[in-house]
């Protein structure tokens, strides 16, 4: 009987040690996986921001349509002003700028158009999946635009975002809930987001 009790106690100790170890490792594993998903998502949102900024430069406003943005990346172009000529070191030391040199005819400017896909993104960039949230089967970022009145000026803004409930789907549910609560308490969107349609933020991401 004594031996049986000793074996039972040994098993109980092993189980207890495992439970303690697992309780420590669970949030560590969660944070590592969350960081991996966040990093990939942030890079995707940076691509969306780059495309939106270029689109606005061309058309004077942002777009809420991924189809429009993808078509813009794949088939459209942007203006590029090229300066032809140079300013000598001597003139630079005298305080000459490119503007002065242009007025004096030392530099000329030529406006050309270059393909978006060949300029803003890497050669292997796949515009067709710009909408797709990393680590999900087919979830799409939420994207919206708005025109806000700021100091009597109309300001066009956009946002693109994904909630933690979607981005971190399949991970420990209670830890996702806890993360959402912490971010809400910090007045932060519980997920990853760039831009804002409520208050202009210069297209900043909530990770910045």
Question: Is residue 101 one of the residues assigned to a domain?
Answer: yes
Question: Is residue 144 one of the residues assigned to a domain?
Answer: yes
Same domain, 141 and 208: yes
Separation between Cα atoms, residue 68 and residue 138, nearest integer Å:
19
Question: Is residue 150 one of the residues assigned to a domain?
Answer: yes
Mean pLDDT value of segment 172-182: 96
What are the phi and psi torsion angles at 5 (to 5°)? -65, -40
Question: Is residue 53 one of the residues assigned to a domain?
Answer: no
Same domain, 139 and 206: yes
Q: Diameter of the chain by CA atoms?
A: 104
Separation between Cα atoms, residue 14 and residue 156, nearest integer Å:
61
pTM of the model: 0.77
Same domain, 102 and 142: no
Shortest CA distance to 58 belongs to which of 120, 15, 139, 140? 120
Using alpha carbons, list the distances in angstroms from residue 15 to 4, 11, 21, 27. Answer: 16, 6, 10, 19
User: Which pLDDT does position 184 carry in this prediction?
Assistant: 96
User: Which pLDDT does position 2 carry in this prediction?
Assistant: 67
Same domain, 111 and 136: no
Residue 17 has pLDDT above 70, yes or no: no
Higher pLDDT, 49 or 81: 49
Same domain, 203 and 161: yes
Q: What is the CA radius of gyration of the chain?
A: 27
| DSSP H or E stretch at residue 113 | strand 108-115
Question: Is residue 103 one of the residues assigned to a domain?
Answer: yes
Question: Is residue 87 one of the residues assigned to a domain?
Answer: yes
Shortest CA distance to 107 belongs to which of 95, 99, 96, 115? 99
Question: Is residue 179 one of the residues assigned to a domain?
Answer: yes
Question: Is residue 167 one of the residues assigned to a domain?
Answer: yes
Residue 203 has pLDDT above 60, yes or no: yes
User: Which pLDDT does position 76 carry in this prediction?
Assistant: 87
Same domain, 171 and 106: no
Q: How many domains does the chain have?
A: 2
Same domain, 201 and 141: yes
Same domain, 99 and 141: no
Mean pLDDT value of segment 104-119: 73
Count of alpha carbons within 13 angstroms of residue 178, beta-carbon side: 9
Token pair 């890079």 in the structure block, residue:
43
The residue segments making up the domain with residue 197 are 132-208
Domain final position from 118, 151, 184: 118
Is 50 in contact with 120 (CB distance < 8 Å)? yes
In 3-state terms, what secondary structure has residue 204? Answer: coil
pLDDT tens sequence across 52-105: 999 999 999 999 999 999 999 999 877 766 666 666 777 677 677 767 767 766
Query: Measured on CA atoms in the order 41, 47, 51, 57, is the torsion positive or negative?
Result: positive
């Amino acid at each position: 009987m004594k031996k049986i009790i000793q074996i039972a106690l040994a098993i109980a100790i092993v189980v207890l040690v495992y439970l303690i170890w697992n309780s420590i490792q669970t949030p560590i594993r969660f944070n590592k996986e969350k960081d991996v998903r966040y990093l990939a998502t942030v890079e995707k949102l940076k691509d969306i921001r780059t495309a939106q900024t270029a689109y606005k430069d061309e058309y004077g406003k942002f777009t809420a349509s991924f189809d429009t943005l993808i078509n813009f990346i794949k088939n459209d172009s942007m203006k590029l002003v090229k300066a032809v000529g140079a300013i000598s070191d001597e003139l630079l030391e005298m305080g000459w700028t490119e503007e002065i040199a242009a007025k004096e005819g030392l530099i000329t400017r030529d406006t050309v158009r270059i393909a978006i896909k060949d300029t803003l993104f890497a050669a292997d960039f796949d515009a067709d999946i710009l909408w797709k949230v990393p680590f999900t089967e087919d979830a799409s970022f939420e994207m919206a635009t708005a025109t806000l009145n700021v100091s009597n000026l109309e300001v066009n803004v956009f946002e693109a975002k994904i909630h933690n409930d979607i981005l971190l789907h399949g991970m420990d549910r209670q830890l996702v809930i806890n993360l959402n609560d912490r971010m809400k308490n910090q007045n932060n969107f519980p997920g990853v987001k760039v831009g804002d349609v409520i208050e202009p933020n210069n297209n900043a991401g909530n990770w910045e």
